[in-house]
Amino acid sequence: MKASVNHKTPRKPTFQPKPLSSAQLAGVELLLVGKTDQETADTVGVTRETVWSWRREHPIFMSTLERRRAEVWGSAGERLRSLMQKAIDNIATLVESGDFDASIALLKITGMYGGVVNVLSETDPEKIIRKQAEAEVQREGIPEDATETMLINLSKNPVYQRRLEEIGAELRAMYGEEH
């Protein structure tokens, strides 16, 4: 009897982020309800700069905050969608009657007057880490395209690729769990 042979290629282990601290989890919830960095910092017992750093530089915090925003806005969005037809009918009646304020409000809510609010950012920590690693490699002055350093070579710069992988590994080690 022959022993079965597994011909599957071993898979690369997936990134397992470190869990957020209780202060960070509380910070996410406070920011969700509209607290400022200072109010959040005061409540969870850290500095305002720490909260800023979490929001701008900590990929796990950033992705958790964005996922929670999507959840909150998702449930609120469902409620709003259920009222959408009534709101459209009301606004249409006002605009059709010549109500200037309603006309401006319609332009604002459709994004044709001013800016759009509640645009979500990235929710995948791996993509946030990739973006941070790319920014760091750029700051180090390593061009992505090897043609900038070697005019005749049209492939990606191997120095750029190697450094990108090194920085990504450092960030994963910093924010991921050890296995």
Q: Calculate what percentage of the chain has a pLDDT beyond 90.
A: 32
Using alpha carbons, select from 99, 109, 29 the residue that is nearest to residue 65: 29
Q: What is the pLDDT of residue 115?
A: 54
Higher pLDDT, 108 or 43: 43
All residues at 6 or more sequence positions from 64 whose CB lies less than 8 Å from its CB, including other chains = 20, 24, 25, 28
Band of the pLDDT at 46, cuts 50, 70, 90? very high
Higher pLDDT, 10 or 143: 143
Q: Which amino acid is at 171?
A: L
All residues at 6 or more sequence positions from 125 whose CB lies less than 8 Å from its CB, including other chains = 15, 17, 59, 60, 62, 63, 175
Q: Which amino acid is at 116?
A: V
